[in-house]
Amino acid sequence: MSDVHVVLDVFRMWLLVKIYKKAYGSDRGHPSQRKMHVFFLLLLESKYKFVGITHQFNDCFMMIFCLMGIHTWQYGYLWVSTVMLGIAVNIKMSALLMIPGFMLTVAF
């Protein structure tokens, strides 16, 4: 694994923590309980990394742009989020799988 992939993986995990924290909000449950949910979700998500395909076929770059799109959408920047998701689709077409959920959340 190259240094670029290590940096991208650390940045991806940081983005996931920010997204999960924003999704849970500060008014839901006890703070230590929220942290356990984030930790549990990160453990489930990191299982994908061990499959061995994360660093092949530009998956790491596509996931970074998808997560940046989700993160910017959470803060209300819809145009930036749409551009980020478009860049992710240009990198790899499997990012199209995120578009139905994106459109549902934007529409409602």
At 18 the pLDDT is 84
C-alpha distance from residue 3 to each of 10, 104, 108 (Å): 11, 37, 40
- The per-residue pLDDT for range 1-56, each reduced to its tens digit, is 567 777 887 888 888 888 877 876 655 555 555 566 666 666 666 555 544 555 56
At 47 the pLDDT is 54
User: Residue 80, Cα to own-chain centre: how many angstroms?
Assistant: 15
pTM comes to 0.73
Between CA 4 and CA 47, with CA 63 as vertex, the angle to 5 degrees is 90
